[in-house]
Chains A and B, each alone.
Chain A
Amino acid sequence: MKILVAVKQVAALDEDFSIRDDGRGVDPDFLIRDLNEWDDFSLEEAVKIKEAATEPVEVVVVSVGSDEVDESLRKCLAKGADRAIRVWDSAIEGSDSIAVARVLAATVQREAPDMLFAGVQSSDQSFASTGIATAGFLGWPHAAVVSNLTLAAGTKSAVFRRELEGGLLHEVEIQCPAVLTIQLGINTPRYASLRSIKQASAKPIEVLSLADIALGAADVGEAGSLSRVRRMYVPDMGRAQLIEGSAAQQAARLAEIIREFKGAAA
C-alpha cells in the first residue's frame, strides 16, 4: 500500500514585517518558514497506518516548492516518511491553490498511491482548497475536515468521522483511492528530534520538474491559476479601546477580547 501525503512549507510573520514592494505579499526577509501545522497531523496519520500494518506500507511526502522546502521535507522523513518528492520549476512561482493542486494531481498520477492525505488548510493562505481541488483533477472521491480515521492497509475502503455543527458526528465510508483532508487533533504528532532529522538527510529527496509530471509552464504560475492576489495590507485599526461598565462587565468583555485574540492567532 502506498499513501501520499501532500505537505506545505508555510510562512509565519516575524516581528516588524514589511510588505513587498509590489504590495502583493510580505517581504520574504521577515518570514519564518515551517511545516504547515495541519500537515504534521496528516503525516502522523499515515505513519500510524504504516506502523500498525502487517503488510508493507510506503509513506511518501510530496511538496511543491523551491529547495527551501527540503528542511521541512527532512523533518517529515525524520518522522517516518519513506520518501520525499519535491516538485519545482521557476514557472510555478505565483501559483494559486488550484495550480498547485494541478501539480499535485500530476504527481499523484505518476506515483499511483492508494490514498492521498492533505491538511485541511495551510496556516499562511487558509484557502482550504488544495486537497479538494487535487481530488477534482484526479476525479477521486474526497472528504474534508476528517477528525477520525480507520484505515487498515490492504483494505479497499476507509471509514472516517467528521465533526459537524451542533455536536453531530458524521461517519462515512469512502472507496480507495481517495483524497482526505485531515483536521488538527486527529492524533498526537510525534516529535522529530534534531538527531533524527540529521539522520533523515541520508534519505533521498526526489526533485521533479514540470516535464517529469507531464505539465507545461502554462499549467502553473499565474497562467494556470484561477485567482490572483491584488494586494496585501494591514488595515488601519485602532489598537486601544476603553472598556466601560461594572467590574464584572469589564472582566467579561476582557475575557471575550482575549478569546478573540487567541482565536485569531490559532
Chain B
Amino acid sequence: MSRTDAVTRILFEAFTAAEVRLFYLLGYAAIAVFLYGAYVQIRKYRRGAALKLEGSIPARLGAMFSSVLSHRTIDRRDPAAGGAHRLIFYGFLLLFAGTATITLEYDILEPLFGIRFWHGEFYLVFSLVLDVAGVALIAGLMFMMYRRGWMHLPKLDYARPDRVPGDPDFNRPQYRREDWAFLWILVIIACTGYVLEAARLVWLHARADIWDTRWWSPVGALLAQGMRAMGLGADGAGLLRHGLWWFHGLIALVLIALIPYTKVKHIFTAAASLMVRDPLAAQRLPRVPESQEQAGAAKITDFNWKQLLNLDACTKCGRCHEACPARAVGAPLSPRDVILSLREFAHATLESGAIPAAAELDIHGKAPGQVAMETLWSCRTCMACVEICPVAVEHVPIIVQMRRKLVEEGAMDPLLTKTLQTIHKTGNSFGESKRKRGAWSKGLPFPVKDARKEPVDVLWFVGDYASFEPRNQKVSQVFASLLQEAGVDFGILYDGESNAGNDVRRVGEEGLYEVLATANVNALSGANFKSVVTTDPHSFNTIRNEYPDFGGKYEIEHYTTLAKRLFAEGRLKVTNPLKYRVTFHDPCHLGRFNKGYDAPRELLALLGCELIEMGRCKANSFCCGAGGGRIWVPDPVGAEKPAQNRMKEAAAIAGLEVYVVSCPKDLTMFEDALKTTGNEGKFVVKELIELIREAIPARSTEELPA
C-alpha cells in the first residue's frame, strides 16, 4: 500500500469507547430533536386547509432545483447578497456532504458491506475541496455580517410601518438576535473546523501519511505550520484536538437539532415553497368553492397548507418591503410584516398538541400576530412583493383572502362600499347608465360595429375607464380610428359589456366578481369573433387568466401587441417620426402580471422616440396606486401618493418630454400626479395610443374626433 493510499480521515482516534458511545448518543438525540421539530412543523402545515396542486411533481422538483442551484431568485436586485449566499450555500452543502459521506462509509457501508472509499486520493481531493468550501463559507458569512452590521440597508430594518415605537412587536429585536446567532454559529463551526484540522495535523505530524499530504488541506496545513512555529508540540496539539473535536461536534449537533425551531429551517421551507410555487399566484386568484360556508380567511386555519408553508419560508430578506408601493409612501403595510405576523400567529397557535378554540385563531385585529384592516386595505395588489420574493411567498392571495372576510363583514371604506353597490347596480364603477357604455363611440366619424349583432375579427373589450372616463374616452376614440385606418374588422359589446371585475376581485368581493365574470363570459359567448383586444391591462389580466375558470377561454391581447403587428404588417406606417425623449411606465397588470414588457418599448422605438428608462421599470415597475380597488378609495390627505412618488422619479430624467402610459387608470392617476407634484408644463403624460396617432397624422383633420 502506498503512502497516500493509507491516508484517511481521522475520526475517533484516541477516543475511549465510552466517548464514542456518548457521541453517538448525542448524535441520535440531535436527530430526534430535529425529527420532532420537523413533525411539529409538518403537523402545523397540515392543520391548514386542503389544497390540490396542479402540475407534475418532477416538473415542480425541476423548477425548484433550478431556482435553488442557480440562486437566480436570490441574485435579483441584490447580486452581492446573492453571491454571498451562493458561497455560504455551496460551502455549507459541500461540507455537509463531506460529513454525510463519512457517516455513510463509517456507519453504513463499511460495517454492513465492508466497502471503504474514504481514503487515498479520493480522501485527499475531497479534503482539498472541503477546505476550499470552508473558505467560501466563511467569506460568505463575513460579507453577510458586514451587510447586516455596517451597510444599514433599509430592507433589513425590522421596524414596522403598521406599528408605532413602543408596541411589543414594533421592530422584533429577537429576529435580529436570531440573525446574528445564525451567522455566528456557522462562523464558529467553520473556524473551529480549521483549527481542529490544524491541531490534528500537529498532533499526528510524526505520521508521514498524514503530515506529507497536509497541503491537500491548505488552510489546515497553514494553521498547523503556524502552531508548530509557535512551539505547539504533539501532546499539546492532541489535547487541543480532543477538546475542539467535542466543541465543534456538539455545536454542529446543536445546529442540526435547532433547524426546525429557528430561521435555519428556511433550508427546507424555502426549497419546499419554491417547489409549490404558483406562477399565476396573483394573476389568477383562487375561487371560493360554492360549498364553503364563509368566503375568505378569518382564522389562521383558513389558509391552506401551502400558505402556512409560505409563511415559514420567509427569510426576512426585505425585498418585498422595499418593493411595496404602499410601504414606500408610508401606508401601514409591509408585505414582509403581514407574512411575519401570520407566521408568528401560526407558531403560537398551531404548534401545540391541540388546536385552540376558533376564537383564538382569529387573524384579524391589532394584537401581535394579527393583521389590521388598515394594513389589508393599503394593498394595491400590484404584485411587486410576489414578483421579487426569492422563496416564492405569495402575499397577494393571502391579503385578498383576508380582505374577502372584511368584505363579508362590510369592514371597508364607505366609499368602497358605495362603489361596489354601484357596480352591482349599473355594471360599472362610474354609476353611469348601462346604455351609455358605448356612448364614447358616437363622437367618431364612422360607426363602431356592435359585436353582439354582427361577426367581427377583433372584439374590443373596452373596460370601465376607457368607456366612461372623459379623458380616456378620447383615447378610445383615437384607438378606434387607428383600428379603422388599419382596416381591422372590429366591434364592441356596447351595453352587453360589464366591468371586467379584475379590481372587484382584488378588493375581495368574490360574489360580485362571479356575477361580473359570468355576465361578461355570457356576453362574449353570444358574440362571433376571432380574438379579443383591450386597452385596459386590468381587463386584460382577468379575461386572460381568470375567465377560463368561468368557462371563458379567449385569445386576448393588449393593444400594444396588436399595434406592433399592424406596424409589422404595414397596415400602420409612421409618417411623422417623433423625436421625443420619453420614459415608459409599465402598468402592473401588463408588465409584472403578464410579462408584456417588450411590445410598448418596440412601439416607442418604431415611433422614433428616445426611451430613457426609470430606475424602477419592467418587473420592478412602481404601481401608480390604483390597483386592488384603491382607485375607488382616496389616499390619506397630506401623505404622498404612489403616483406622486413615481412622478418625482420621472421628473429626475433630464429633458424628459413625455411620460408614456398604456393603461387608462395610469392616465388618470399620473395626469393628476403631474399637477400635484408641480411638474405640469415640464413634461406631459400621454397614452402610447396618442403617440401612435401623432406619428401617423390622420388623412384629414375632419376625420378626427373633437
Contact = CB atoms under 8 A, between A and B. Distances in A.
A133 B258 CA distance: 76
Contacts, number: 46
Contacts of B433: 14-16, 32
Contact of B435 (A14, A34, A188): A14
Contacts of B510: 194-195
B436 A15 contact: yes
A188 B412 CA distance: 12
B295 A15 contact: no
B511 A198 contact: yes
Contacts of A193: 295, 407-408, 410, 509, 511-512
Interface string B348-370: 00000000000000000000000
B262 interface: no
B317 interface: no
Which among A15, A190, A193, A198 has the highest number of chain B CB atoms within 10 Å?
A193
Interface residues of A, number: 15
Interface in B322-356: none
A197 B432 CA distance: 23
B679 interface: no
Contacts of A14: 433-435
Given A15-B435, A194-B512, A195-B288, A32 B425 contact: yes
B410 A190 contact: yes
A261 interface: no
Nearest to B410: A191
A196 interface: yes
A205 B414 CA distance: 29
A8 to B, nearest CB: 16
Contact of A34 (B288, B420, B425, B509): B425
A196 B511 contact: yes
B511 A195 contact: yes
Contacts of B410: 190-193
A123 to B, nearest CB: 13
Contacts of B295: 193, 195
Contacts of A15: 432-433, 435-436
Given A15-B433, A34-B425, A196 B515 contact: no
B414 A188 contact: yes
Contacts of A196: 408, 511
Contact of B407 (A191, A197, A198): A191
A16 B425 CA distance: 18
**Residue in B288, B424, B426 whose Cβ sees the most chain A Cβ within 10 Å:** B424
B412 A191 contact: yes
Given A32-B425, A32-B426, A194 B511 contact: yes
* Most chain B CB within a 10 A radius of its CB, from A15, A192, A195, A198: A195
A188 B411 CA distance: 11
Contacts of B412: 191
Interface string A1-35: 00000000000001110000000000000001010
Contacts of A188: 414
Interface in B404-457: 407-410, 412, 414, 417, 420-421, 424-426, 432-436
A88 B232 CA distance: 106
A191 B288 CA distance: 19
Contacts of A192: 410
Contact of B509 (A32, A194, A198): A194
B514 interface: yes
Interface in B506-540: 509-512, 514-515
A195 B436 contact: no
B417 A194 contact: no
A191 B436 contact: no
B424 A194 contact: yes
Contact of B515 (A32, A190, A191, A194): A194
Nearest to B516: A194
Contacts of A195: 288, 295, 408, 510-511
Nearest to A196: B408
A196 B426 CA distance: 19
Interface string B666-688: 00000000000000000000000
Nearest to B293: A199
Contact of B420 (A16, A32, A191, A198): A191
Interface in B480-513: 509-512
Contacts of A16: 433, 435
A14 B424 CA distance: 15
A16 B512 CA distance: 27
Nearest to B434: A14
Interface string A193-230: 11111100000000000000000000000000000000
Contacts of B515: 194
Nearest to B411: A191
A198 B421 CA distance: 15
Closest 6 CB pairs of A and B: A194-B511, A195-B511, A191-B410, A15-B433, A190-B410, A194-B512
Given A14-B435, A32-B425, A193-B295, 8 more contacts: A14-B434, A34-B425, A190-B410, A191-B407, A193-B407, A193-B410, A194-B510, A194-B514
Interface of B: 288, 295, 407-410, 412, 414, 417, 420-421, 424-426, 432-436, 509-512, 514-515
Interface of A: 14-16, 32, 34, 188, 190-198
12 contacts: A16-B433, A32-B426, A34-B425, A188-B414, A190-B410, A191-B412, A191-B420, A191-B421, A192-B410, A193-B295, A194-B514, A196-B408
